[in-house]
Amino acid sequence: MAKAKEVTMKTSIKYHQDDPWRLSEATFDPAHLGKYEAIFALGNGYLGTRAATEEANTGEVRNTFVAGTFDRLNEDEVTELPNLPDVFQVALVFNGQRLDLNQGKVLDYERSLNLKTGELSRHFIWRFGRNRYRITTSRFVSLARRHVMGQRIEVTALDGDATLKLSAGINGQVTNTGTQHFNDDVKRLYPHHILQLTTKTNESQVNFAITTQHRLSVPDDRLGYVKTEMLRRRLRATYTLPLTKDDPLTFESITTVYTSRDLDVAYKDRASLRRQGYQAALALEKMNFRQLLTESAAAWADKLWTPMPLEIDTDHARDQLAINFARYHLQIMTPGHDSRMNVAAKGLSGEGYKGHTFWDTEIFLLPYFIFSQPEVARSLVTYRYLGLHGARTKAADNGYRGAQYPWEAAWVDDGESTPVWGATDIVTGEATKIWSGFIEQHITADVAYGVEQYMRATDDEEFARTRGNEIIIDTARFWCSRLEWNPDVDRYEINNVVGPDEYKEHANNNAFTNHMAHWNLLQAMQLIDRLKTNEPAEYQRLDERLDLAALRPEIEERLGKLYLPAPNAEAIIPEDDAYLTLPTIDLKPYLTAGRVGALFDDYNLEQVNHLQVTKQADVILLLFLFERHFSKRVKLKNWQYYEPRTTHDSSLSLLTHTNFAADLGLKRKAYSYYRRARDIDMGTNMNSSDEGIHAASIAGIWSMTVLGFGGVRYLDGRLRIEPNLPDQWRQLSFCLWWHGQKLAVTETNQTLKIRNLTGTRVVEIDHAGASVEIPTHDEVLITR
């Protein structure tokens, strides 16, 4: 076996010790384009755009997406978010020489993302020959106006007068890695330098109107020649502008995007969207770039930073930067305005996973929104209710009853959206089949788990009555039909599945899957009993739809006979029926290689399937989610067994290990894992985010901070707060929502202070094995 190749790379990322709101690119390196395009992405949950530079670069990926506007190229492809026409590329030509940072010399370069305001700015001096030009740029996607994006470029000639040719417009020639999702377009040029392109997706027939207005600091009578071009799928304007030495010239573009999927647009046809875009451009003329940016920055403060502060008192500045970075990205990636949409695995920052939604939402992302933005959490779980039709269709197609949720979900009507084939096998040379869409079935229980967590943490009875109860019960119907009877051992089993450990395909009795299915069935049975006793009208409604009278005894019979993998004599829970019998290998060379997937330098997936190698937290995740079901000894023994066998080749793994280690009191190990998870996107691996940021891992930064180290947990219908602060932190303070009450929590290693800010009801929490009441508009101080 060859030693896995270790990766070392130079980095251009810059952290500011005295400013936890700013992340910077210190030098321009074309090898790092993808990293910054993703981590500097801008958005507002409706619109998202990668941070490609203004000037074109080889290897760049210009992506702009509108959430929920999925399209499919043909029957052989799965649906994906289409890449919108680009408005941010601007060509600058000085005295005939095009700006190109790979030529000449670049001085005083820095590009920064202001996490507090959502502004991406860049400044540098470009020297070509004897002439120097100072260039400053700024860009934002408005959080105050969902459809608006803005860009500003300031150019100054430093060594004498010059002539600048500036070309900008709307480029519909961009694709999704070669796939063109738009079939035709209509281009318009209007007075006041307004350009517009309307177009439509091929299969889903979603109409788009992209309108941009150019504004220059040079009066129209001094513009000189303005060349306008209408090309195939593209229109642009080229301005010839005089540059006077040391006199800055500014160019601004204000862009609006509207689609026929928008809930706030009354008329969806293309002509109406065209009028909407043009009228919006005219209305925005009264505000300049800076005013729109200031308005958007105020919205960031009002919607996120002011109402839900989160501060870490530590000498490790990257930790506060990380939580700010995480919450920024959670805000820009989440379409909380529209329950027909959900969070993509890469947010709106790249084409990875085609904009699809996974179990990531319920298990890793939803806790943040439940505790921080419950109205957004409601939208996310409503998406799953709207997807019931697709889930029922998938169950029926597979010969089951009830609702079987898709492993990858897109538009609410699309159903299963997982590709059938993936990367090429290094041994066989053939495409690898992606089994997740067929047999990674724990997603169905995961959805029910997220819905139940939301309902209990928010006390949202209206959602439970109109949506949530039906999801819990119909997913249980699926499991009743999915369980397999094994007469040889007198029990029900769940065979031929993929658990969270995706390196074990076709596993029998994956512990996580079986326990989650059992939980789902138990919740449904208890719910049916509660409804029959306390809400007879609701019981009758669901009985007519789902035949609760027949389902209830069926669930009870399945629960009594479902096999739940339990700790063996050594206290180890078998990940599946075969795992503990498989051979082991030395993983150290692969774990120290510094890159994901190093194992596949020497093995293919079929070979790994027959080794004691785990891709990501599986049994560990089970123990974390159901911590009260297992003893401290079982937890510790399984940690000691599975931790050295886990490659963490999924970005979901490190955060779970952090939280579990914190629960076990393994402070040094927890903080070590935390630092690795914290830096998946924000760290110095300059290729980690090329296809987009890792949405669940981003949410994991909050999870590790508040759930892991903060010790916040929803358990059996109650809120528990049991701080596990690392030694590197002196204090952690944050706000959270529970049963409609906003709590302010301050933790040290000696004290826990909780204040009831909303004050409309008394809140009870669990701490150190006791119940603690927080009175209305009062606080409780606990000495630990």
* Helix or strand holding residue 456 (H, E): helix 442-458
Nearest alpha-carbon partner for 575 in 638, 630, 632: 638
Mutual angle of helices 511-534 and 442-458, in 10-degree steps: 40
Sign of the alpha-carbon dihedral angle for 520, 524, 525, 529: positive
Pairing label, strands 131-141, 207-216 = unpaired
Q: Which one-letter DSSP state was computed for residue 356?
A: -
Among the options 408, 440, 502, 722, which is catalytic? 502
Q: Is 404 annotated as a binding residue?
A: no
Residue 365's contacts (CB-CB under 8 Å, 6 or more residues apart) are 330, 334, 343, 380, 695, 696, 699
Q: Is 359 annotated as a binding residue?
A: yes
Beta bridge partners of 752: 747, 782
CB 565 within 8 A of CB 574: yes
Rounded distance between C-alpha atoms, residue 325 and residue 335, angstroms = 18
Rounded distance between C-alpha atoms, residue 34 and residue 62, angstroms = 10
For the chain, what is the total number of helices (H) and then of strands (E)? 22, 31
Is residue 311 annotated as part of the catalytic site, yes or no?
no
Helix (H/G/I), strand (E/B), else coil: 375: helix
Nearest alpha-carbon partner for 273 in 180, 147, 404, 90: 147
* Terminal-to-terminal C-alpha distance of the chain: 52
Rounded distance between C-alpha atoms, residue 117 and residue 131, angstroms = 34
Q: Is 616 annotated as a binding residue?
A: yes
Q: Is 279 annotated as a binding residue?
A: no
CB 455 within 8 A of CB 465: no
Specify the residue for token string 């019960």. Answer: 473
CB 395 within 8 A of CB 384: no
Nearest alpha-carbon partner for 596 in 698, 503, 700, 500: 503
The stretches of 157-269 forming alpha helices (DSSP H) are none
Question: What is the distance of C-alpha 595 from the center of its chain?
Answer: 21
Beta bridge partners of 242: 163
Rounded distance between C-alpha atoms, residue 119 and residue 138, angstroms = 7
Residue 331, CB-side half-sphere exposure with 13 Å CA sphere: 27
Phi then psi dihedrals of residue 531, to 5 deg: -65, -40
Rounded distance between C-alpha atoms, residue 738 and residue 480, angstroms = 33
Rounded distance between C-alpha atoms, residue 477 and residue 641, angstroms = 35
Residue 776's contacts (CB-CB under 8 Å, 6 or more residues apart) are 756, 759, 760, 761, 762
Rounded distance between C-alpha atoms, residue 224 and residue 236, angstroms = 16
Query: Residues annotated in the binding site for substrate, as ranges?
Result: 359-360, 615-616
> Which residues are marked as active site?
502
Query: Residues annotated in the binding site, as ranges?
Result: 359-360, 615-616
